[in-house]
Amino acid sequence: MLIRTIRHCAVEVMSWLNVQYYRLMGVSIGKKCFISVHAHVDIRRGKITIGNNVSISSGSYILGHVGFRRAPEGQETKLEDNVTVFVNAVVLPGVTVGKNSIVGAGSVVTADVPPNVIVMGNPARVIAKVESKTN
């Protein structure tokens, strides 16, 4: 039990450090976000905005550009409030994931996701609607 508590505290600290690093590198990140140590947020080019209460799991990629091409002017990758991105999902550049949405494990999000839905697959498709969270 003690080891589990220590591990939980260590994971929280590492996530906090990860969030602070991405903020320092220019990513706009809201409050109460969790970004796994093994998640990747593209900080090289393009604009990325992450809302409040967002959780990004291990192995996920949030991209701001593709390859060595410049991102088109005004293009922004956006995760709105209360979004959850599960293991090994990829959110491509210029995509907006709507509030309270869930991106399933291994999904590749190629187009905007509406609020309050679950998307899964490659390319990601809406598979269900979820109840709106009130935070």
What's the whole-number mean pLDDT along residues 53-67?
90
Q: Where are the domains of the chain?
A: 2-129
Average of per-residue pLDDT values in the chain: 90
What's the whole-number mean pLDDT along residues 76-98?
95
65 catalytic? Reply is yes
Q: What is the second-level CATH architecture of the domain 2-129? A: 3 Solenoid (2.160)
Residues recorded for the chain: 135
**What is the side-by-side order of every strand in the sheet holding 90-91?**
40-41, 61-62, 90-91, 108-109
Q: With cut-offs at 50, 70 and 90, classify the pLDDT of residue 135.
A: low
**Is residue 119 classed exposed, middle or buried when 0-12, 13-18 and 19+ CB atoms within 10 A define those classes?**
buried
pLDDT digits (tens, 9 = 90+) for 94-114: 999 999 999 999 999 999 999
